[in-house]
């Protein structure tokens, strides 16, 4: 016997969650199994669709139009523009991000003073778009080394942004251990304790200090620590005091924006009746032409799970959906074929920022998203892949990670649900 569902999604990242949500749309029973918390916590929380074409340094303006210029093995090229667009619509319906309905990229400042083209932004980030044009004040906090506001402002000015940008650093009004992480600051801002020195709350104290610095800035950017779960009310409170729009600058891990997106998607999955399990990996499978069951390893015990259709959304090299050792690159659960050069020295380029092959490692799929063997045959009738387990894209360079996850996730979820019927 096994724990059963119609569709079993393996992997709880953006691709897995979108697969599960889409499959549940069609009324089948869906279970999502995730080894660890979603890697969204390591991600910016922005939704990039396609920021750069391979080998091109110019940001893409219209990603849907640019899909036509991608190589044939790219996941977007395999799906085709219409399915990518439909998937983004499904994301827009599920999550309250800005940009729904628009087809153009927007440039957003990063916490190191760079910028990147992205497609959908959390509402708290939108006012920081570079195209906005209003003069910008970036405010960092002394103990948060990850966001050096004067440095970020200087970098943006250097890059030639079409507005004035200034950076200031404030002490954090509540004293913290010197190694406190950004999650701690986010939790404090959410909790909003009284600050003895000012006799006011933490948020009021911060707002007053920012107000005194704002001058004629048309908008104020703070590191993305304005609450762990809910930033809208906190931002509104700050804006009321500062008098201009306040926005969050996306930060590195642990990413509050990513963790809020994870929570929002979990709520959507829960509302859709999806069963979810976190904490243990899928390690093995009973399979022939079809997969009969997979095994979740709970320490030494292997617990069987069976479904009619499976979605493999275990991530790439970072998420450990793709494994590697000194001689080969492989897909660890089902042993799906991963194209790779025989000679290890071809996996990478000698230049650090050169064009490496390894980011493109992953399984090969057809338009049906079923992984293919080395001679192009379907690996398993009831297995589809989604997200960065699929090879053929260098998402970090292209700024296409979230978009590929959403596009292939929705397509795989749809196909799996149809497979059940």
> Should residue 110 be labelled a site residue for other proteins when binding is judged by CB under 8 A?
no
Q: Distance between CA 274 and CA 268 in Å, rounded? A: 9
Please identify which residue in 253, 323, 332, 339 interacts with other proteins, judged by CB under 8 A: 253
Q: Distance between CA 382 and CA 309 in Å, rounded? A: 5
Site string for other proteins, 31-70 (x = CB under 8 A): --x-xxx-x-xx----------------------------
> Should residue 303 be labelled a site residue for other proteins when binding is judged by CB under 8 A?
yes
Cα 41 from chain centre: 8
| Residue 157: its H or E element | helix 149-158
> Should residue 282 be labelled a site residue for other proteins when binding is judged by CB under 8 A?
no
Site string for other proteins, 180-219 (x = CB under 8 A): xx-xx--x--------------------------------
Closest to other proteins by CB, 220 vs 256, is 256
Closest to other proteins by CB, 305 vs 334, is 305
User: Which string of DSSP letters, residue by residue, matches 104-155?
Assistant: S-EEEE-TTS-EEEESBEETTTGGGBGGG---EEEEEETT-TT--HHHHHHH
Closest to other proteins by CB, 213 vs 318, is 318
Q: Distance between CA 375 and CA 17 in Å, rounded? A: 31
Pairing state of beta strands 97-98 and 121-122?
A: antiparallel
Please identify which residue in 342, 345, 374, 375 interacts with other proteins, judged by CB under 8 A: 345
> Should residue 72 be labelled a site residue for other proteins when binding is judged by CB under 8 A?
no
The least CB distance from residue 56 to other proteins, in Å, is: 26
Please identify which residue in 289, 350, 375, 377 interacts with other proteins, judged by CB under 8 A: 350
> Should residue 301 be labelled a site residue for other proteins when binding is judged by CB under 8 A?
yes
Pairing state of beta strands 165-170 and 301-312?
A: unpaired
> Should residue 276 be labelled a site residue for other proteins when binding is judged by CB under 8 A?
yes
Q: Distance between CA 216 and CA 227 in Å, rounded? A: 26
Nearest Cα neighbor of 91 from 168, 14, 28, 32 is 14
Segment lying near other proteins (by CB under 8 A), choices 19-27, 149-157, 294-302, 392-400: 294-302
> Should residue 296 be labelled a site residue for other proteins when binding is judged by CB under 8 A?
yes
The least CB distance from residue 37 to other proteins, in Å, is: 5
The least CB distance from residue 40 to other proteins, in Å, is: 10
> Should residue 2 be labelled a site residue for other proteins when binding is judged by CB under 8 A?
yes
Q: Distance between CA 208 and CA 170 in Å, rounded? A: 11
Closest to other proteins by CB, 123 vs 320, is 320
Q: Distance between CA 160 and CA 149 in Å, rounded? A: 17
Residue 317 three-state SS: coil
User: Which string of DSSP letters, residue by residue, matches 188-219?
Assistant: HHHH--EETTTTEEHHHHHHHHHHHHHTT-SE
Q: Give the interface with other proteins as residue ranges (CB under 8 A).
A: 1-3, 33, 35-37, 39, 41-42, 176-177, 179-181, 183-184, 187, 228, 253-254, 259, 273, 275-280, 296, 298-304, 318-320, 326, 345, 350
């Amino acid at each position: 016997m096994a724990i059963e569902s119609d569709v079993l999604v393996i992997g709880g990242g953006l691709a897995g969650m979108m697969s599960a949500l889409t499959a549940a749309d069609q009324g089948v029973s869906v279970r999502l199994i995730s080894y660890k918390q979603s890697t969204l916590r390591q991600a910016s929380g922005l939704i990039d669709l396609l920021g750069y074409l391979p080998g091109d340094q110019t940001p893409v303006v219209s990603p849907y139009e640019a899909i036509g210029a991608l190589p044939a093995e790219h996941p977007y090229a395999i799906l085709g523009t219409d399915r990518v667009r439909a998937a983004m619509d499904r994301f827009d319906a599920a999550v309250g991000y800005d940009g729904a309905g628009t087809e153009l990229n927007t440039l957003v400042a990063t916490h190191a003073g760079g910028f990147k083209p992205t497609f959908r932004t959390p509402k708290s980030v939108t006012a920081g778009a570079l195209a906005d044009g209003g003069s910008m004040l970036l405010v960092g906090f002394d103990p948060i080394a990850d966001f050096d506001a004067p440095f970020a402002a200087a970098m943006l000015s250097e890059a030639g942004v079409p507005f004035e940008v200034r950076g200031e650093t404030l002490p954090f009004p509540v004293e913290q251990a010197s190694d406190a992480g950004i999650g701690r600051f986010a939790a404090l801002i959410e909790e909003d304790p009284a600050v003895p020195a000012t006799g006011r709350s933490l948020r009021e104290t911060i707002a007053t200090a920012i107000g005194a610095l704002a001058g004629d800035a048309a908008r104020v950017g703070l590191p993305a620590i304005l609450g762990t779960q809910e930033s809208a009310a906190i931002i509104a409170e700050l804006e009321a005091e500062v008098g201009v729009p306040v926005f969050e600058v996306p930060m590195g891990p642990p990413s509050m924006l990513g963790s809020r997106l994870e929570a929002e998607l979990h709520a959507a999955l829960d509302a859709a009746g999806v069963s979810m399990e976190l904490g243990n990996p899928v390690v093995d499978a009973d399979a022939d032409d079809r997969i009969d069951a997979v095994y979740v390893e709970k320490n030494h015990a292997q617990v069987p799970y069976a479904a009619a259709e499976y979605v493999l959304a275990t991530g790439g090299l970072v998420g450990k959906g793709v494994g590697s050792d000194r001689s080969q690159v492989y897909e660890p659960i089902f042993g799906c074929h991963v194209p790779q050069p025989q000679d290890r020295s071809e996996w990478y380029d000698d230049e650090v920022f050169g064009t490496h092959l390894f980011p493109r490692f992953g399984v090969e799929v057809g338009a049906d998203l079923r992984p293919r063997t080395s001679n192009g045959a379907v690996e398993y009738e009831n297995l589809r892949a989604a997200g960065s387990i699929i090879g053929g894209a260098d998402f970090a360079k292209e700024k296409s990670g979230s978009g590929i996850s959403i596009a292939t996730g929705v397509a795989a979820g749809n196909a799996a649900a149809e497979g059940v019927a």
